[in-house]
Structure 1
Amino acid sequence: MGVPDEVDYAQIPWRSAQFDPEALEAALATEARAQNALDQFHRHRAGPAIGFCCSVRHAEFMAAFFRGRGLRAVAVHSGPGSAPRATSLDQLGRGEIDILFAVDMFNEGVDVPAIGTVMMLRPTESVILWLQQLGRGLRRVEGKVLRVIDYIGNHRVFLTKLRALLDAGPGDRSLALRLEQAVVGQLPLPPGCSVT
């Protein structure tokens, strides 16, 4: 599910092929955006969830916001105050935690088949990293439907996600053709998959 992102990424400085970390954090860790994420979570959630954040502060902010609204949420990161990694993953897999907010971890090598919702709450400049994050929810479980809630931003780098998902070649025309195929229902997808 692509969710329109109200953040104006054009106002966030771009440094060394990535967004300025402090400016990005300030733009993403807001009450309005957290409320929107909570609304999207309630609307589209399917099972235990993992949310990918841009910084420790962003993850802590999101976890506190969700806990303040009655959900069982934790933030897992490399800084002090992090919830325990292994225990949190076990609790998530057993459904004892509703959502785990992570920063620069769990991109690969994590096996929690029960994850049914992946929230992309940060821009990701790397297609490989984005696919790794998406992969956290792709473990097959009988009857599971994966829900991906991805904030689609207004920066050109976000087109890399669509290009990867739609297996489009380089260039805008290739991507446009794949999108046209999706709109008219002619995009070949694996059984049980859809693009919204």
Structure 2
Amino acid sequence: MSTQAFWKQLNLAVLNLFASFYSLPSKKKNLVVDVELALQYASQFGKIRTMECLVVEGQATGFLNPLISAAKQGCMPVIQWFVNHGCQNVHLVVALAVAASNNQVDITTYLLHHIPLPFLTSKRNKIIKITYSLGGASLQGVSLLLQLNFLGDSVATYVVADKIARSDEDNVAYKLKVFLQEQWSEAAFLEGMMAGKNH
């Protein structure tokens, strides 16, 4: 048995233990369970019923790490479960950046439709910067967000991209600025509009 297969079986065994524990009558429960760690395992393997038990009965509240794992792996049922259970918008924004940086198109699109636009707008610069950072300096995630018009329309998308491209802040990566200047700045937008009219 490979090491990966061993750990997978071990994790599944742990999940079964947690599920069995929460099916016992309360008076028989004398085992101390780390519900936050259990929620992490359950979400990793898409065990929705176990997640439900851990949150409702175990009162697990640590949604961020399991949400990040699901966004990275592209596990839509888990993402939907967290959204439907009132996950905080700030956590959904982090998951959005993770999904985009890992080219999880379906997850990214879903989250964009479930994070309130005013909240997205208020975090627009941070979303772009975090996505770039999480992508290991790859521009793929940033490009995905911009192509999906993550602020609701193309004009708003170009405005935020142009603002970052023109920024003189030290925490904006040079590679990111150059990409935005060439592809998503106001000048690039106007150039594209003119090219469209000429054709």
Compute the TM-score of the two structures, normalised by the length of structure 1. 0.32
Compute the TM-score of the two structures, normalised by the length of structure 2. 0.32
Bigger relative contact order, structure 1 or 2, given CA contacts below 8 A and separation 6+? 1
Higher helix share: 2
Higher strand share: 1
